[in-house]
Amino acid sequence: MNHTATAERLKYQLALPFLAANHLVRRTGIDYHDMELFKDVNPLDWEDWHWQVKNRICAKAELAKIINLTKEEEDGMKRASGKLALAITPHLATLMDPVDPNCPIRRQFVPLGAEFQVTPHEMSDPCAEDRDSPAPGLVHRYPDRVLLLATECCAAYCRHCTRRRMVGDKPHVCAPTKFDEALEYIKSNRKIRDVLISGGDPFMLENDELEEIIKGVRAISHVEFLRIGTRVPVSLPQRINEDLIKMLKKYSPIWLSIHFNHPKEINKRTKSACDMLSDNGFPLGSQTVLLKGINDKPYIMRRLMHELLEIRARPYYIYQCDPVKGTAHFRTPVAVGINIIEKLRGHTSGYAVPTYVIDGPGGGGKIPVGPNYVLSQAKGKYVLRNYRGKIYTYIE
């Protein structure tokens, strides 16, 4: 590595004290004024989510001004067009290590050539969502809950995305689909008590567009529980602003399912977006996808879970990466996920232990997988092991 690269790395490491405890407030990423591409940006523009979306990095030439592209990344960029195109917000760009190709933010948002290899058992719709869709934009799998796919757009496109068959083909157009048929279906099915509005990312819609959907769902009396799935606290924290909060509060309670994969995604700006949501009464649950080379080490996952608790987000699920086409390079053996739970359960606060699940390929839904603590069971007697491997007998 040459001297310039070493200096760059040092500056970056000072800016991001990765994996050091209690540094959330100090961890900020690179100051955008120090970046060639953004050095003249007005702070008011930087904080404007529309500006962030308009100025996303979607081309190789722009990305090359931020990171030293590897051959693998150049290859991926050349081929990433159409479905799941490249889009990286300026905010995310400040978190990318310019010199380390293994940077977890780079790995998640910059395509690699490996993405274009399809392995056996991979599918375009591994969770069979299209099959279980009784109306446009609606997925109905479990008896009492549905998923409403509000938009195909996201602030940035995660290369491991399960819905890569549908997201990202119109990265600059976020027109909401009309949901009359979906709302009618929910209305006529009184068993549905839980609606998750997801996508794409529903927070890519304008407030009035999103409000139209929320209002429609809230008008259905048997819907008790409303959730919104979003990744903007990570990719576009500027979207969480007063106007959005004001609109959402009219329809409280709303739970937010957020998506964090690595401690590096949690920083000062993200924390303030999550604080704004929590302070205004929106409970946060975080989902994480297990990704090879990114968060597949127990110490990284433990740090992530702890930092999530620090920003008042309850770790909810760790997902085995779905067998979606072009994601083999992200998938780990299932044993890796089980071992992570083994290293969490009992070793840290119960609130920091999510459920590890595999989405049953072909539409089986979420199936919990984890270490086995029941060693044997006979009439009235259970032989159990604890987190340290000590054996105990429980008499019923």
Residues 6 or more apart in contact with residue 178 via CB below 8 angstroms: none
In angstroms, rounded to a whole number, what is the distance separating the alpha carbons of residues 327 and 384? 37
- Please, what is the angle between helix 180-188 and helix 207-218, to 10°? 20
Size of the residue set binding ligand SF4 (CB under 6 A): 10
141 catalytic per annotation: yes
Distance set, CA 218 to CA 196, 212, 250 (Å): 12, 10, 10
Site string for ligand SF4, 207-246 (x = CB under 6 A): ------------------------x---------------
Catalytic residue among 158, 174, 274, 321: 158
The bridge status of strand 355-360 relative to strand 284-290 is: unpaired
If one asks whether residue 260 binds ligand SF4 (CB under 6 A), the answer comes out as: no
Least spacing, CB of residue 348 vs ligand SF4, in Å: 26
If one asks whether residue 161 binds ligand SF4 (CB under 6 A), the answer comes out as: yes
Residues 183-212 that bind ligand SF4 (CB under 6 A): 199-201
Closest alpha carbon to 146 in 229, 37, 247: 229
What single-letter DSSP state applies at residue 175? P
Catalytic residue among 97, 125, 296, 359: 359
The gap from C-alpha 165 to its chain's centroid, in whole angstroms, comes to: 17
If one asks whether residue 126 binds ligand SF4 (CB under 6 A), the answer comes out as: no
Residue with smaller CB distance to ligand SF4, 168 or 342: 168
If one asks whether residue 167 binds ligand SF4 (CB under 6 A), the answer comes out as: yes
366 catalytic per annotation: yes
Q: Is 207 left (phi over 0), alpha (psi -120 to 50) or beta?
A: alpha
If one asks whether residue 30 binds ligand SF4 (CB under 6 A), the answer comes out as: no
In angstroms, rounded to a whole number, what is the distance separating the alpha carbons of residues 280 and 255? 11
If one asks whether residue 53 binds ligand SF4 (CB under 6 A), the answer comes out as: no
Residue with smaller CB distance to ligand SF4, 327 or 332: 327
Least spacing, CB of residue 179 vs ligand SF4, in Å: 18
Place of tokens 């699920």: 317
163 catalytic per annotation: yes
Residues acting as catalytic residues: 141-142, 145, 154, 158, 161, 163, 322, 359, 366
Q: For binding to ligand SF4 (CB under 6 A), which residues are involved?
A: 154, 157-158, 161, 163, 167, 199-201, 231
